[in-house]
Amino acid sequence: MKKLESLLQENSKDNCNRVVNYVGKSTIRFKELMHLMLTGEYRVSQLAAWPMGYIVENHPELLTPYYKKIIPLLEDTSFHPTVLRSIIRALQYVDIPEDYQGVIMDRCFIFIADPQEKAAVKAFALTVLDNLSKTYPEIRQELQLIIKQRWDTETPAFRARAKMILSKK
């Protein structure tokens, strides 16, 4: 844990990559990273969240034991916003277990409809919902409706993701 904590000292892309490379696909090191993200002080939690998203992109299976712990964070405003963004980012790359699909779907709809939510969270939430619409095609219509309602007031990141979703039939 000391090695990982020492890596989480600087908020930079280079440092994020060092952590990603250090953790690799090691379940033990990923567990340490998740522990720091979930229980570390505010700054450590933030610094641990960023590489977590990239690690899960490369090794989605590593997130499997942590759903029960990360799902409540989707509503917890006491964590650094980076933690939320990184969790939503990671959820784009995994097959979400059925037990958690409903709550994740609900939260993602709330994120994309909230005018105050950060652009990255909305963009990632759009992708999560698009992925879930393969299992739940009935949500596609609601997703498209929200996209169309929000289109004129949203960021380029939102519109780029939304455009890909709308192009699918």
Report the pLDDT value the prediction gives residue 42, as an integer from 0 to 100.
Answer: 83
Report the pLDDT value the prediction gives residue 124, as an integer from 0 to 100.
Answer: 96
Mean of pLDDT values over 140-152: 93
Report the pLDDT value the prediction gives residue 2, as an integer from 0 to 100.
Answer: 67
pLDDT tens digit sequence for 1-53: 567 777 677 888 888 999 999 999 999 999 999 999 999 788 888 899 999 99
Indicate if the pLDDT at residue 152 is higher than 80: yes
| Average pLDDT value for the chain | 91
pLDDT tens digit sequence for 73-123: 998 877 778 899 999 999 999 999 999 999 999 999 999 999 999 999 999
d(CA 63, CA 57): 10
Indicate if the pLDDT at residue 164 is higher than 80: yes
Q: Structural domain boundaries of the chain?
A: 1-94, 98-169
